[in-house]
Amino acid sequence: MNQASPLPQQASPIARAARRWLPGSVDRRVRVLGWLSLLFQVVLVGTGGAVRLTASGLGCPTWPRCTADSFVTTPELGIHGIIEFTNRMLTFVLVLVAIAAFLSVVRMRKERRDLFWLSLSLGLGIPAQAIIGGISVLTGLNPYVVGMHFVVSISLVAIATVFVYRIRFGERPPARTVPRWLTGLTFFTVVVAAITVVVGVLTTGSGPHAGDNSDNKHLAPRNGLNPEILQHVHSWPAYLTVALTVAILASAIVLRLGRLRAAAIGLLAVEAVQVVVGVSQARLGLPELLVAIHMVLACVLVAGITTVVLTLRAADGSPAAESPAPQDRELQR
């Protein structure tokens, strides 16, 4: 049963009230905080892209302070300092959301260990993300460190997606409901998509948007790779990902796997937009707005392909697959 254990008699009234207020089952508060966790992870990538694309990578020239004498931006740093400092402040918003999300599931830690560990992982990922961001500043925006910062961010997007999915559909079913070959096809698609993201990071690190500061005389270093060649190399696994997604969608239609079909359609739609944006930015000389959209869409794509993987269990939408989570069954008694 999903009931909170009684508090010791010596517990203060405030502690008792706080414990009673915390959700004992998945409710609207938990769902909202789950979505906020995912949303702000994507927003953080978008603001990080704005730092790159406005040449504000060293708008705050040091870390953890903004300057040697101030934790906040100063008028002397101008617009670049404001942009970089705003991106740093968003991390604290994420921390607050992560703490709230963790507290929203802490009473369910025995019945819903999945939500407990997912929320804890998101919370621990944020300081790791901040430290890597600080290292990127202290190393003068080394392109590999900047790229690692993006990879960590996009990994947290995947974890947040799992968190939202488990909040909505309950614990992971014990076995997949799709054929092994379809499972293999899906995980191969994940590998190809991951290669696409990594090559995209290397492509960005070789080009004009690797993460510059506002000093045109001392621009951030590049990784030394040929950006024109990397653009083509980046496109190969991207197109293969689209083809594999079409194969997953066709399989879901033939096998009548409703939830997988819906997830594959959503993923394919994101990939189509991503391809259009990617081709357009390459032909138009990498305009900042399209590059920013491309970065955010990469997060949406990762969220989409994570959802596809999650639907490999209970993908047919059968009554067993749609059965309520343990805490919901208890409420129905």
* Spatial distance between the Cα atoms of 140 and 212, rounded to a whole number of angstroms: 9
Per-residue confidence (pLDDT) for residue 34, from 0 to 100:
95
Q: Which whole number is the average pLDDT over 155-173?
A: 92
pLDDT at 330 over 50: no
Per-residue confidence (pLDDT) for residue 97, from 0 to 100:
94
Q: Which whole number is the average pLDDT over 113-137?
A: 90
Query: pLDDT tens digits for 4-27?
Result: 445 555 556 665 666 677 887 888
User: What pLDDT band is residue 210 in, cutting at 50, 70 and 90?
Assistant: low
pLDDT at 264 over 50: yes
Backbone angles phi, psi at 86, to 5 degrees: -60, -40
- As a whole number of Å, the end-to-end CA separation of the chain is 11
Higher pLDDT among residues 98 and 316, named by residue: 98
Query: pLDDT tens digits for 40-93?
Result: 999 999 888 888 777 777 778 888 888 888 888 888 888 888 888 888 888 889
User: What pLDDT band is residue 325 in, cutting at 50, 70 and 90?
Assistant: very low
Per-residue confidence (pLDDT) for residue 211, from 0 to 100:
62
Q: Which whole number is the average pLDDT over 328-333?
A: 42
Rg (alpha carbons) of the chain, rounded to whole number: 22
Q: Does residue 198 contact residue 238 with C-beta atoms inside 8 Å?
A: no
* Spatial distance between the Cα atoms of 325 and 322, rounded to a whole number of angstroms: 9
Q: Does residue 172 contact residue 313 with C-beta atoms inside 8 Å?
A: yes
Q: Which whole number is the average pLDDT over 250-256?
A: 94
Higher pLDDT among residues 325 and 239, named by residue: 239
Q: Which whole number is the average pLDDT over 237-250?
A: 97
Which residue has tokens 């804890």? 120
**What does the mean pLDDT of the chain come to?**
84
Per-residue confidence (pLDDT) for residue 64, from 0 to 100:
83
What are the start-end ranges of the H helices in the chain?
13-21, 28-53, 78-105, 113-138, 143-169, 180-206, 227-255, 258-283, 288-310, 326-332
Q: Which whole number is the average pLDDT over 124-138?
A: 88
Lowest mean pLDDT among 190-194, 210-214, 264-268, 273-277: 210-214
- Both tokens assigned to 205: 């690190």
User: What pLDDT band is residue 236 in, cutting at 50, 70 and 90?
Assistant: very high
Q: Which of 48, 133, 132, 118 is nearest to 83 (CA)?
A: 48
- Predicted TM-score (pTM) of this structure: 0.84
Q: Which of 137, 138, 161 is nearest to 48 (CA)?
A: 137
Lowest mean pLDDT among 27-36, 78-87, 239-248: 78-87
Centroid of chain to Cα 257: 26
pLDDT at 322 over 80: no
Per-residue confidence (pLDDT) for residue 12, from 0 to 100:
66
